[in-house]
Amino acid sequence: MTTTAQIEQTRFNMIEQQIRTWNVLEPAVLAQLAVMQREKFVDADHQGYAFAETQAPLPGGQCMLQPKVEARALQDLQVKKHEKVLEIGSGSGYMAALLGYCAHSVLSLEISPELATLARNNLRNAGVRNVEVRHADGAQGAAADGPFDVIVLSGSVAAVPDALQAQLKVGGRLFAIVGQEPMMRATFVTRTGNTSYQTTQPWDTVAPRLQNFAEPSKFSF
């Protein structure tokens, strides 16, 4: 049986060996990772994945992002306490919990009813009260609830839809993992004006696809 001390040591090792070495050095982000119990968001049959440098399995063939990817995205987004966040792809609810830790409120959309229920239960058990998990197709966002300061796509897409970018406030930031395997880029879009956006792609990673987002045609003419 794993003791509390062993779990905390494993969490410490994850932060020091996986996350710090991936240039995540922001004290507030590291503090979040130390406090939020990732193991509570992983299925009991897959507890060995809770702190591993891999994507933890979830029901329905889905999976959580790697811890270092979650941490690096949080550091680069710099979410503030007054900000409203939209997440697409709730998964286990862990990324939503991290976002809720540093935001005013989070709306998380999950297309799978099973995962929406799982995320909702995990967040409630973790005492996270400022996150709403909604069973919905997030491919078009949630325009009626926007605009948002931050939008997070917790999975990969071929391209960021214009409809999602339009749901950012001016000054708002969007994070997505964009591209095709084996090469995907962490993509940050900042809305700089009513019709202007700035995009950066500072690091590489890979992630499973979000459902119902458009894919490029495989035909060429």
pLDDT tier at 87 (50, 70, 90 boundaries)?
Answer: very high
- Answer whether residue 168 shows pLDDT above 60: yes
Q: What is the mean pLDDT of the chain?
A: 93
**Domain residue spans of the chain:** 4-205
Looking at the chain, how many residues does it have? 221
**Which residue has 């987004």 as its token pair?**
77
Encoded amino acid at 221, one letter:
F
* Percentage with pLDDT > 90 across the chain: 82
Cα angle: 51, vertex 63, 33; to 5 degrees: 35
CATH of span 4-205? 3.40.50.150
First to last CA, the chain: 60
Tell me the C-alpha to C-alpha distance, in Å, between residue 31 and each of 15, 88, 149.
10, 24, 22
Model's pTM, two decimal places? 0.94
User: Cα separation of 107 and 88, whole Å?
Assistant: 9
Instruction: Give per-residue pLDDT as tens, 16-70.
Output: 999 999 999 999 999 999 999 999 999 877 888 889 888 888 888 888 999 999 9
Res 48: pLDDT:
80
